[in-house]
Amino acid sequence: MSIDITYTLPGFPPGNQRTETTSDGQPPEDGDRDCVPRSIASALTFLTGVQFNGDELHDAVYGQGYLGMQDAARYVDYCAAHGVALSLVQDAPAALIARAHREIAAGHPVLLTIPSQWGIPARLQPAGYTTHVVVLCGTGATSLRAMNPWIAPVWHDNTDAYWTDELVGGAMWIMRKAGGVAVWTKTATGAVDGHGHTVGTGFAALILAKYAQSDGRTGEMYYDAGKSYVLLSTAPYVLRWTQAGGVSETQAADVVIDLANQIAHLKAPPPPPPPPPPPTIKGKVAQDVETMIIDIIVEYEAAKTNK
């Protein structure tokens, strides 16, 4: 099958991890292993219009002088701070390659992990083989283009079948400007991935049944495994999870009102303390005083009568 690249993300900038110009003017100290930050840097430059380089990202996330392999997951917060979502998607290799076509068509670069000795399918690699990261940025009917930071500025083009065989780990990372819709994908285990988080199968089933089809787009705003809510703007509901009650749904307005009431309660000044009780005379002393007062009143009344 021939390679048929017909579209490349406009102006997508290539960058070579070993020879790039760095922000500090020094050669990249970990250039041979900077494939992750160099790939992300190109995608960030494309999405934001701001120039990034791999060594800059390397130093910001791993620290100046770090030498070693790097994980794209460590760059999620860095990308978010620059207005870009870096989201993990997991699926069968062929499904991921098919999805990569759709993401690139939507203007989203895609990070892909392949063997360092690319050209040999991942399944035929020797035990303990090392990996390399490229960023997919172009497409054709049956082919994909990668910016490979080891050989850039030469494009790394090949067929879908090639990339399916090369893909490592059953996962890829999608990069898009933050604030857009999230893509929820039903995986082999029934989970749904959105914003790089994996949602449990029960929650996933409810979301897909009510709000999205498999591989469909929905207006999900944010999900975090430690939180109780998933906000869906396509319907006026909030899905709520509790250990006792499981998953339920409520009107979003109810949750907003509940949160507003909690905030108002926290901001309200404390009530004034109750007034102190009147002093009391206790025990036998009180009884003696009471008897004395009564005796005085009786004697006074008697004196008035005798006059």
Helix (H) or strand (E) holding 42: helix 35-48
- Lowest average pLDDT, out of 84-93, 222-231, 243-252, goes to 222-231
Give Cα 15 distance to the centre of its chain: 27
pLDDT tens for each residue of 78-104: 888 888 889 999 999 999 999 999 999
CB neighbours of 200 closer than 8 A, spacing ≥ 6?
A: 191
- Distance (Å, whole) CA 45 – CA 41: 6
pLDDT (tens digit per residue) in 184-216: 455 555 555 544 455 566 655 665 555 443 333
Residue tagged 């090369």 (tokens):
166
HSE on the CB side for 43, CA within 13 Å? Answer: 39
Report pLDDT for 271: 77
How many angstroms from the chain centroid is the CA of residue 175?
A: 12
User: What are 90's two structure tokens?
Assistant: 């997991």
Per residue in 101-114, pLDDT tens? Answer: 999 998 999 999 99
For residue 257 the two structure tokens come to 């009102």
Confidence of residue 234 (pLDDT cuts 50, 70, 90): very low
249 in Cβ contact with 239 (< 8 Å):
yes
- Domains assigned to the chain: 5-180 (3.90.70.10), 182-269 (no CATH)
